[in-house]
A and B are shown apart, each in its own frame.
Chain A
Amino acid sequence: MSGNKDSDGGWKKFVWNSEKKEFLGRTGGSWFKILLFYLIFYGCLAGIFVGTIQALLLTLSKDKPTYQDRVAPPGLSHTPRSDKSEISFKKSDPSSYSKYVQSMNEFLEMYNETKQNRDFYEECGTLPDTYKDRSMEEKKKVCKFSRSLLKNCSGTDPDYGFMEGNPCVIIKLNRIVNFRPKAPSNNLSLELPVKVSPNEIPIYCKPKRAEDEGQIGEIKYYGIGQGFPLQYYPYYGKQLHPDYLQPLMAVQFVNVTEGKEIRIECKAFGDNIDYSEKDRYQGRFDIKLTVS
């Protein structure tokens, strides 16, 4: 860093000066001193740093995050995931959709009934109901959600309808600690063509573009009611609620026009569910479906 290289001896002398026994312009003693100084200096700094981080962690609650302004309102995510939200496959070619099938299998693994028979799982009914406040429960119980509720998309058909060209997509509302989604009030329900229970967050999918109308024979919804039943909420966080299962919704697109890209938008409806121009997964998502 210094201009030493300009001095008469040039680089070689700078690296090792045999006269003065200097390595890179310093003698051994000098190197020892400066390194010791930096050892202490950085030691102190690291100490301060670790100390402040520890102090920071002490101020944080294990149960609920300090702020949730970045994560709420919740996103709406789907399985299978895909590049650029495209799902395209050939009915006749299993390898073209095997990755989708595999990811759905993996995802539904934890919804196996066999995994839900420990004692803190409880039945929460098959009809939408209101919130279950578990704040008083010492060991928070978890509502069961069996994959069989997803019927055709539950894995009974090992191809999830892909082979027939009627693909399934599983939808979930992203988990947020202590978040109580509110069912849509009346004015919002107007958008919905079907009647829904007041205790659920309904999901509704439709082709996004007008010209895609009619390209899909039918969109079938499987799960509890038309969406996410409120008795599964709120979620108390990883620490208190470790085996929490969030309710799912499966959508099956039946009789999709082949060889054409169809944009489908799925939306969750609720008073505290919001949408954003910038975040295309907040409260809704759209996928491009191409079946051939």
Chain B
Amino acid sequence: IEELEMRYTTSVDKGLTSSFAREVLERDGLNELKPPKGTPEYVKFARQLAGGLQCLMWVAAVICFIAFGIELGRGNLTSFDDLYLAIVLITVVVVTGCFGYYQEFKSTNIIASFKNLVPQQALVIRDGQKNQINANELVVGDLVEIKGGDRVPADIRIITSQGCKVDNSSLTGESEPQTRSPECTHENPLETRNVAFFSTTCLEGVATGVIINTGDRTIIGRIASLASGVGNEKTPIAIEIEHFVDIIAGLAIFFGFTFFVVAMFIGYAFLEAMIFFMAIVVAYVPEGLLATVTVSFTSTITSVCSTSVICSDKTGTLTQNRMTVAHLWFDNHVHAADTTEDQSGQSFDQSSETWRSLARVAALCNRAIFKPDQEGIPIPKRIVVGDASETALLKFTELTVGNTMDYRNRFKKIVEVPFNSTNKFQLSIHELEDPLDLRYLLVMKGAPERILERCSTILVKGQELPLDEQWSESFQTAYMDLGGLGERVLGFCHLYLNEKEFPRGYQFETDDMNFPTSGLCFAGLISMIDPPRATVPDAVMKCRTAGIRVIMVTGDHPITAKAIAANVGIISEGSETVEDIAQRKRIPVEQVNKSEARACVISGGQLKDMSSDELDEALRNHPEMVFARTSPQQKLIIVESCQRLGSIVAVTGDGVNDSPALKKADIGVAMGIAGSDAAKNAADMILLDDNFASIVTGVEQGRLIFDNLKKSIAYTLTKNIPELTPYLVYITVSVPLPLGCITILFIELATDIFPSVSLAYEKAESDIMHLKPRNPRRDRLVNEALAVYSYFQIGAIQSYAGFTDYFTAMAQEGWFPLLCVGLRGQWEDVKLQDLQDSYGQEWTYSQRLYQEYTCYTVFFVSIEICQIADVLIRKTRRLSAFQQGFFRNRVLVSAIVFQLCLGNLLCYCPGMPNIFNFMPIRVQWWFVPVPFGILIFVYDEIRKLGVRRHPGSWWDQELYY
């Protein structure tokens, strides 16, 4: 303490002088968490507007403006198409940018919640006087006083304490209140008892202490900066989309540039070639895709799809987070109690006389009480005042005996000795229920070995038998068995006090213990555990079949952890740890072949001594891992190790100091109920019910969405080819332009959006939980097969459909296909008002222009019809569309109807020709592409049939995406 005074030039009685405090305040700054220096908001927004595709679209828009400007400068304002195009492109970029910005904004307000943790006022002693000051003015060396209910204003070294307990749950996740006293109990500041941490809550008692850290230098401040220092790992799906967008942007530039050069070679003017470049970019870039993906697919659930490892907490996630009586031992038998959440399990035989005594001890020797007015609530859910094991016992007796409170009233309590760590027992003395029986009853519970020491008899089937060697041995076996299950075991015993020695009115002194505390009668053992949630074993099984590894990371004792792990299936039946094998073979641990052990339990202590290589090695060798007694900081190490091994890691967490691990993990999962705000902010996903099974459901959903996203992208990509080929043919063969840029934008941004979104509602094709998690390096969202199949096969058929319809419309109006070839120059000659068609008829420029618009519309309709076939084939990747059912996805059906209606509206709404270049086309031109649509459907059915019939064949490898 003197050292403390020296170090912080303070006094434990009087505190700092206020002038010195002011100096320190100036030196160290306010006692607040500073938000990390983030990138300014406008930079973030600008970054959203400057992605690969976005840049490309900016360039296209600028070219449009230039083209428009040049036309304007020449004085012939024939059309505003270029201007429209530029505006639409910019709008698309800005709108998708806003979406992206909003998404990012949601994920970056982590520090905001740390701010909420700062206490408002603090009681500080300066100049020997108590002052109430704002907590942010505290400085190092200040002497502060905290009492129950306060938030700790800074990191404090406790100097005096009276029953001070703090709730560290926001920091470490430990939910039990922890005592704070002046003694140093541990070297690690996090473990020691004499430091109370900034932002934790003082539950009861009073303490004074010296501030040792303020602001960002406090433990929580360091975690805050650590959390923001750990780079925000992009979710796997974001990486996938980025990867895909880069490829698209690269290809668009490649195509655009190639044809720019080709056009220059053929002899087009520079400006014309630039416009070709722009048009190719517009045709090739899937403008609507960004919007579709952002709107319908970037729900965070998508990110869990590729999870291959889940690091789960135990308490609350795998378990119910409430101590429950699991086993009883009396009459030399182990009886199992019902641990299910809804009390639906089997009960045990309650007819024995011993059971009644045991239940009586359990009910009486218990300080826990129900909070009043909870009659309507089921017993397991009622709120109890008392510690975890007493709560468990209270609920247990309430369930088995009934109305414990009334029962206690009947046995009036005379005196009690509460549990303390030296005695390791708790006892109380009661009057008996029967008013004629004037004996007192002494009941006692505590650590089983201590209880046994004090007993001389044992109750068996209601008979008091002497406690001999044999009974001791069977007691030991039972105790070891229950302990081996990871359960907390308590022993119970009682004694009727002789009414002569202890008549009514006898003064029992708890300090002197003027009553017998040995020679008691042993009643039985009751063991408690925090039982696993009912749904968890199934969920763990599901993970196993889905190739997902579940690793338990808990602060609990290794034995408990292992027992729960075995219980829920994280350690499967028949798996052994190195220690188990050693025990079975009766050989030292060192001689065991480590690869034989499937399971492994590593405690925090061992973990501390392991190098990261050793940890990797352990994770690689043992498929079933349990980490016990780990500090939340070690979670980060485990996560990093898993990531080094190439896994996509999901991590659950609730405490503030889990947030670095949550951020580091590919998918951070915060607990919705128990989780602190900081954890929730750092997480990618929040579990509303804190249930592990929900993560698995999430994975299932995520995998489905990933599959559907693939389908949606395949659908979207396909039409880029029939949008691109008209330009290529136009440039190289010089036919009149079959498809205009504005029409392309209508396909991209209007008619095809809804169908591509509707694919998100597609049902799973097969049991997706029986597949291995995807390998993020190999199974990309957009793989070669998908792109090739969409572009060069389906896209090609669509292009042919478009051109067939185009040539039909041209030929029926008088322009035969062969005449069209090379016609471009004359066709687009504004001066030429009498161009002859195949019949010798003469066309004015405007007549030709409307004919060109007719072609645009016809090509548009062809793409629409083919896209309907496309969306139908994209419903499945492997199954036949007939197996999947055509009408089960209602959204998709309505999307097709919507698409057709919109197409009709665009074609036949008056005024369209001059605004958006759509012409009312002849009805039969709608049907020209239909055979091609059927061809697409049939071809894809053949493809799927081949894929199903011959898995692994050449056909499967090349055509399954």
Contact = CB atoms under 8 A, between A and B. Distances in A.
Which of A1, A45, A60, A175 has the largest count of B CB atoms less than 10 A from its CB?
A1
B782 to A, nearest CB: 8
A239 B797 CA distance: 35
Contacts of A255: none
A263 to B, nearest CB: 15
A1 B717 CA distance: 13
Given A45-B797, A53-B804, A279-B846, A65 B833 contact: no
Contacts of B243: 3
Nearest to A49: B800
B844 A282 contact: yes
Nearest to A83: B831
Contacts of A139: none
B842 A238 contact: no
Interface in B783-807: 783-784, 787-788, 792-793, 796-797, 800, 803-804, 807
A38 interface: yes
B364 to A, nearest CB: 69
A163 B838 CA distance: 38
Contacts of B841: 65, 68, 71, 174-177, 237
A2 B796 contact: no
B961 to A, nearest CB: 11
Contact of A34 (B807, B832, B958): B958
A41 B847 contact: no
Nearest to B809: A67
A279 B797 contact: no
A285 B792 CA distance: 48
Contacts of B783: 2-3
B621 to A, nearest CB: 25
A41 B846 contact: no
A281 interface: yes
A91 interface: no
B807 A53 contact: yes
A11 interface: no
B847 A70 contact: yes
A3 B244 CA distance: 9
Contact of A49 (B803, B843, B846, B850): B803
A174 B808 CA distance: 24
A132 interface: no
Contacts of B922: 67
Contacts of A235: 840
B791 to A, nearest CB: 8
Interface string A17-44: 0000000000000000110011001100
Contacts of B854: 70
A174 B844 contact: yes
Contact of B792 (A38, A238, A278, A280): A38
A49 B800 CA distance: 7
A209 interface: no
A194 interface: no
B803 A65 contact: no
Contacts of B830: 84
Contact of A45 (B800, B831, B833, B847): B800
Contact of A41 (B75, B784, B793, B931): B793
A82 B830 CA distance: 10
B124 to A, nearest CB: 58
A48 B800 contact: yes
A136 interface: no
Contacts of B797: 45
B812 A65 contact: yes
A235 B931 CA distance: 37
Interface in B801-852: 803-804, 807-808, 811-814, 816-817, 830-834, 836-847, 850-851
A206 interface: no
Which of A3, A69, A78, A276 has the largest count of B CB atoms less than 10 A from its CB?
A3
A162 B793 CA distance: 61
A81 B831 contact: yes
A75 B832 CA distance: 11
B846 A282 contact: yes
B237 to A, nearest CB: 15
B935 interface: yes
B351 interface: no
B589 interface: no
A2 B243 CA distance: 10
A234 to B, nearest CB: 12
A48 to B, nearest CB: 7
Contact of A3 (B780, B800, B808, B954): B780
A81 B842 CA distance: 15
B792 A239 contact: no
Contact of B839 (A34, A41, A81, A238): A238
Interface residues of B, number: 52
Which of B75, B836, B837, B935 has the largest count of A CB atoms less than 10 A from its CB?
B837
B362 to A, nearest CB: 63
A283 to B, nearest CB: 10
B840 A175 contact: yes
Given A53-B817, A174-B834, A281 B840 contact: no
Interface string A254-292: 000000000000000000000010111110010000000
A53 B806 CA distance: 10
Contact of B840 (A52, A53, A84, A177): A177
B811 A237 contact: no
Given A75-B842, A281-B844, A60 B958 contact: no
A112 to B, nearest CB: 20
A108 to B, nearest CB: 15
A174 B843 CA distance: 7
Contacts of A38: 792
B800 A75 contact: no
A70 B813 contact: yes
B845 A281 contact: yes
A45 B797 CA distance: 7
Nearest to B248: A1
A280 B811 CA distance: 25
B445 to A, nearest CB: 63
A77 B804 contact: no
B914 interface: yes
B247 A1 contact: yes
B807 A71 contact: no
B813 A71 contact: yes
Contacts of B803: 49
A13 interface: no
A69 to B, nearest CB: 8
Contacts of A60: 811-812, 816
Contacts of B935: 48
A57 interface: yes
A198 to B, nearest CB: 25
B333 to A, nearest CB: 63
A186 interface: no
Interface in B879-929: 914, 922
A285 B844 CA distance: 11
Contacts of A244: 840
A187 interface: no
Interface of B: 75-76, 243, 247, 251, 777, 780, 783-784, 787-788, 792-793, 796-797, 800, 803-804, 807-808, 811-814, 816-817, 830-834, 836-847, 850-851, 854, 914, 922, 931, 935, 954, 958
Q: Which 9 A-B pairs have the closest CB atoms?
A: A238-B840, A75-B844, A279-B846, A174-B842, A2-B784, A77-B833, A281-B844, A65-B814, A66-B812
11 contacts: A1-B251, A1-B788, A41-B793, A56-B807, A75-B833, A77-B844, A84-B830, A174-B834, A174-B841, A174-B842, A175-B842
Interface of A: 1-3, 6-7, 33-34, 37-38, 41-42, 45, 48-49, 52-53, 56-57, 60, 63-71, 74-75, 77-78, 81-84, 172, 174-177, 235, 237-239, 241, 244, 276, 278-282, 285
Given A53-B817, A68-B841, A282-B846, 9 more contacts: A7-B777, A37-B958, A67-B814, A68-B814, A71-B814, A84-B830, A177-B839, A238-B836, A238-B839
